[in-house]
Structure 1
Amino acid sequence: MLKKQFFTAAILFSALSVVPTIADDNVTLATASSGGSYYPVGVALATIVTEKLADKGIRLSPITTAGSAENVDLVRGNEAPMAIMMGLYGRDGFTGTGTREGRPAVTNLRSIASLWQNYEQFVIRADKVKSGDLSDLTQLGSQFSVGPRNSGTEGTSRIVLGAVGVDVNHDFLPVNMKYAAAAEAFQNNRLGGLSASGGIPTPSVSQLFVTSGDDMRLLKVTDEQLEKISEASGGLFTRAIIPVGTYQGQTDAVETLKQPNFMAVSADLSDDTVYEITKVMFENLDQLKAAHSAAAAINLETAMDGLPVPLHPGAIRFYEEKGMTVPDALRP
């Protein structure tokens, strides 16, 4: 059985000298903090899998984590052999480049399916808005939450803002807070802004529109800024629009950027277990989509779109049973 107590990746891997054996009867799913979209979708998937596959000895247990960066390490050590993560961290983890530069490549990282797009959202106080785009962060001069420590949001914030000339360590005071805590701190005038990466509507941003709508603004990303960000990320980020009415009181569409999320899995998990989980996930999409509006984007037709790492053989088996062609680039 998997350990029920989880520690930070740094402590965990310094303490372990061998990779733990995966128990296929109780698979741990790493999500993120409760204020984003990973957690509610992960809980819903775990409920579906446990309900449908318990008679086959397969159960899925969700845990909260700091997010994508930590999830890569949890998959690497098989402490959480399944995880939801950003495409950026999956790609960099598998290749040992970019955000994982100087660290070992996570060679056991595989994918199950593409999920939904993460919308990058940058919130600041209304009285700090000058141009209304990311350049306003160069003059913020107060505390700004870049996301939980060791999270995908933190890494993404630093890449995105650095690409457009925002000095994260000098233009504002970066702090690491979970989404819900950051929203509360903003509401209580303890933050000048925050970064939230997730499917829309993102719960913590929804909370801000309700409690602080007159005092906050979502910054836009200009075409010029998007070009610089795309170049810095190897083309991973693309244009996204947050439509009018996504959030309560939002009267203008917001031009931002997005990157894909995907369901990651350890290569060490058995083919049969991954096949069954993949099959159950796609056979119960209505229940999954009811957990969070971001999950509405999950569908079989786009399941292999934008995957940054090879598919697990168990997932390949499912797709081929459905008559789908698996690209050679996605075969391990």
Structure 2
Amino acid sequence: MKKLLSLCLAVAMSLSLSACGNPTTPPSGSQGNSSVGSQTSQPDPSGKTLSLGTASLGGNFFTMGAAAASVIMDATGLSVTAQATGGSVYNVGAVNDGELDLGMSQASAVASGINGTDSYEGMATEDIRTLFNFNATPVHILVKKSLGASNVTDLAGAKFECLAPGDGVELATMKLLPMLGLSLDDVTLEYSGSRVQASSRLKTGQVDAILDATGLGASWIADIYGDGSDWTLLSLSPDQINTVVQGAPEYSQMTIPAETYSGQSEDAVTVGLWTTVYCNASMDEDTAYSIVKSIMEGKEELVKAHSFFSDLSPENISDACIAPLHPGAEKYYKEAGVL
């Protein structure tokens, strides 16, 4: 943990230096902002450095990426840089184009890239290869109680928070609402730019709802939910879940147990995604193998950095493997007995 704290100090320095340089051009085939910050492990004597694309500074992805970079370095001797980026959609394109070595994304963004749909319409990311899944992220359908909604279909006219163009929240909202029976023509999509601003707008009633695939007990959801007197988590019907799973296989049924948030009296049955980590197909087999092995064997240290790592397990690869497995990852999972 001391290492992680010292690494955080490096972020401020790297941001100050990057502000003096030329702006980075986003890679082709990607959406969102380019890399805006980094957190780097000790240099590798061989000179090899791997970049890991996460999301915005201060968010769960960046914290988890920084922890993963530290664990990989300790176990393998590789130098790894956790970079703050535009998030899930951006990372897929950047890794495919060779601008990043590793990326973290919600499975929906990987599926869009592999299939050449949504943000990647007509430009499939064919060079993405799966390494492992970090954690399950159930879709929290957080809605103001004053709307009186008991189903997503009751939310015609509502304002949905989407954070920023290309963000995973926008992607989930635009993909899921029509599948759940609510036309995008019947809602307003709002873009606050960040979770901090979105939280303020939600709590002050400027926005009515949000669909966010995030880990159980996410602090920013808990902050908005409060004691449950003003907000509710909607459940999906069996038919809605079946429609989503059949139409978008990257999703699976998940449950947000009662009392996950203060005042939440009932389970919220929903769909969800896995956070997946991937690389470019050009990564050599030994490097990919050592990265996967170091992460799986470093779970204890990772959980100390973030509770979301509690889901980490080799068996997770069978729950969601949207992009083809990298041969090095496949070698590890066969040794672990899960393939």
**Which segment drifts farther, 276-285 or 289-298?**
289-298
Cα distance in structure 1, aligned partners of 2:160 and 2:119: 24
- SS across alignment from 2:91: helix
Aligned to 1:185: 201
In the alignment, structure 1 residue 75 sits paired with structure 2 residue 98 = no
Task: Show CA shifts across 1:101-158 (max 9, x none).
Answer: 632221210011133222111222221123x221232132xx3212432122211211
Relative distance call for 1:26 and 1:117 in structure 2 (3 A) is same
- How far 1:161 moved relative to its partner? 0.2
* 1:201 and 2:217 are equivalent in the alignment: yes
| 2:206 alignment partner AA | R
- State the alpha-carbon separation in 1 of the partners of residues 141 and 294 from structure 2: 35
* CA 1:10–1:236: 2 relative to 1, 3 Å: closer
Cα distance, 1:51 vs. partner? Answer: 3.3
Structure 1 counterpart of 2:147, one-letter code: K
1:26-37 paired onto structure 2 within 5 Å: 26-33=49-56, 37=60
Alignment of 1:277-296 (within 5 A): 277-296=291-310
Would the alpha carbon gap of residues 241 and 305 (structure 1) be closer, same or farther in structure 2, given more than 3 Å must change?
Answer: closer
| Deviation digits for residues 65-87 of structure 1 (CA, Å, limit 9, x no counterpart) | 33221111111122222111222
The verdict on how the C-alpha distance between 1:93 and 1:63 changes in structure 2, with shifts beyond 3 A counting, is: same
Question: 1:228 aligned to 2:243?
Answer: yes
Structure 2, unpaired ranges of 5+: 1-16, 32-45
In the alignment, is the contact (CA less than 8 A) between 1:32 and 1:64 conserved in 2? Answer: yes
* TM-score (normalised: structure 2): 0.80
Instruction: Give me the CA root mean square deviation.
Output: 2.8
Distance 1:24 1:298 in 2: 30
Distance 1:262 1:181 in 2: 26
1:138 and 2:151 equivalent? no
- For residue 155 of structure 2, give the secondary structure of its aligned residue in structure 1: helix
Task: Name the counterpart of 1:89.
Answer: 109
Look up the equivalent residue of 1:117 and give its one-letter code. A
Name 1:254's counterpart in structure 2. Answer: 268
Over 3 Å counting, the alpha-carbon distance change for 1:283 and 1:108 in structure 2 is: same
Deviation at 1:220, TM superposition (A): 1.8
Q: Please, which moves more after superposition, 44-53 or 280-289? A: 44-53
The structural deviation recorded for 1:100 is 5.1
Q: Distance in 2 between matches of 1:261 and 1:127?
A: 32
Residue correspondence of structure 1 range 92-241 to structure 2 within 5 A:
92-96=112-116, 98-99=117-118, 102-130=121-149, 132-140=150-158, 143-175=159-191, 177-210=193-226, 213-233=228-248, 235-241=249-255
Work out whether residues 258 and 266 of structure 2, in 8 Å CA contact, stay in contact via their aligned partners in 1. yes
SS at match of 2:141: strand
Name the CA distance, whole Å, in 2 between partners of 1:174 and 1:199.
Answer: 22
Give the counterpart letter for 1:106 in structure 2: T
Structure 1 residues 289 and 24: CA distance shift in structure 2, 3 A: farther
1:174-213 alpha-carbon deviations (Å, 9 max, x no partner): 3253333211221233322222111212222022123x74
User: Which stretches in structure 1 are left out of the alignment for 5+ residues?
Assistant: 14-22, 327-332
**Alpha-carbon contact 1:244-1:251 (below 8 Å) kept:** yes
Change (3 A) 1:144 1:95: closer
- Counterpart CA distance in 2 for 1:11 and 1:89 is 12
Aligned length in residues: 305
1:316 corresponds to: 330
> Structure 1 residues 119 and 12, CA, compared in 2 at 3 Å: closer, same or farther?
closer
Cα 1:291–1:168 shift into 2, 3 Å: farther
Q: Is the 8 A contact 2:172 2:211 kept in 1?
A: no
Query: Is the 1:110–1:309 contact (alpha carbons within 8 Å) kept by the matching residues of 2?
Result: yes
Q: Which residue of 1 aligns with 2:34?
A: none
Q: CA deviation at 1:94?
A: 2.1
**How far off is 1:307 after superposition?**
0.6
Pairwise CA distance, 1:7: 4.6
**Which SS does the other structure have where 1:138 is aligned?**
coil
Taking a change above 3 Å as real, the CA distance of residues 305 and 165 of structure 1, as seen in their structure-2 partners, is: closer
Letter in 1 for 2:295: M
> Which residue in 2 is equivalent to 1:19?
none
Q: 3-state SS of the aligned residue for 1:29?
A: strand
Q: Distance in 2 between matches of 1:241 and 1:325?
A: 24
Aligned partner letter, 2:64: V
Partner of 2:3 in structure 1? none
TM-score w.r.t. structure 1 length? 0.81
Cα shift at 1:317: 3.2
Distance (Å, rounded) in 2 between the aligned partners of 1:103 and 1:6? 24
